């Protein structure tokens, strides 16, 4: 008899053995029975484990679905990344063309300057700022009516996708600075 309790050792050990048997039978029952929960037994999703062959088939089908999703999603992911990089290249070339046109129009509209100086300033800006960003750059400078210098820069952005042709064009106008006498 246990000195701390009034329960004999034989009754205590019988209760432990009985509890262990009941635990084993409940765990076996939960593994081999069909439950009404949407997730199936023990929280797993899939077919009921009543027939082990079907369970293995169902698990194999679930693995194949993940592989199919991966095979479809991976090229889509890469196309999105390449598209994002292509957009960044086009945007950078567009900003470079706009800045070169503004630089050229500011030089061409300066006091005592010529349209050739505006063209050279725009080409020099493209060559020093982004030599490979804007391919085939063409700069044209003209004087509009009302004494306005206009510089237009056209070219193509670099293409990661070979068949894609991204044309970039920017125009800037500035009034020609000249000295006029009053009167």
The residue whose two tokens read 């800037």 is 172
Backbone angles phi, psi at 140, to 5 degrees: -130, 135
Distance CA 77, CA 70 (A): 10
The residue whose two tokens read 């199919």 is 68
Average pLDDT for 131-156: 90
Distance CA 103, CA 107 (A): 6
pLDDT at position 91 over 90: yes
Residues with Cβ within 8 Å of residue 165, at least 6 apart in sequence: 156, 159
Distance CA 94, CA 32 (A): 67
Distance CA 133, CA 117 (A): 23
Place 112 in a pLDDT band, splitting at 50, 70 and 90: confident
pLDDT for 72 = 84
pLDDT for 36 = 46
- Burial (0-12, 13-18, 19+ Cβ within 10 Å), 47: middle
Enter the pTM of the model: 0.61
Judge contact between 177 and 114, C-beta under 8 A: no
DSSP-derived pairing of the beta strands 134-144 and 167-175:
unpaired
Helical residues (DSSP H) of the chain, grouped into ranges: 9-32, 52-108, 115-129
The residue whose two tokens read 């309790």 is 5
pLDDT at position 54 over 70: no
Q: Shortest CA distance to 148 belongs to which of 181, 116, 178?
A: 178
Q: What is the pLDDT of residues 160-170, one digit of tens each?
A: 888 888 999 99
pLDDT at position 45 over 70: no
pLDDT for 130 = 82
């Amino acid at each position: 008899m246990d000195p701390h309790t009034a329960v004999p050792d034989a009754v205590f050990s019988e209760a432990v053995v009985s509890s262990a048997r009941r635990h084993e039978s409940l765990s076996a029952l939960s593994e081999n029975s069909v439950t009404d929960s949407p997730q199936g037994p023990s929280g797993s999703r899939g077919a009921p484990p009543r027939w082990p062959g079907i369970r293995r088939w169902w698990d194999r089908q679930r693995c194949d679905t993940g592989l199919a999703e991966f095979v479809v999603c991976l090229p889509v992911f890469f196309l999105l990344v390449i598209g994002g990089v292509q957009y960044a290249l086009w945007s950078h070339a567009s900003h470079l063309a706009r800045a070169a046109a503004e630089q050229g129009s500011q030089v061409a509209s300066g006091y005592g300057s010529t349209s050739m100086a505006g063209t050279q300033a725009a080409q020099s800006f493209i060559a020093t700022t982004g030599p490979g960003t804007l391919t085939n750059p063409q700069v044209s400078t003209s004087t509009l009516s009302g004494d306005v210098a206009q510089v237009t820069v056209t070219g193509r952005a670099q293409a990661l996708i070979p068949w894609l042709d991204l044309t970039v064009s920017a125009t800037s106008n500035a009034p020609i600075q000249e000295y006029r006498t009053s009167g």
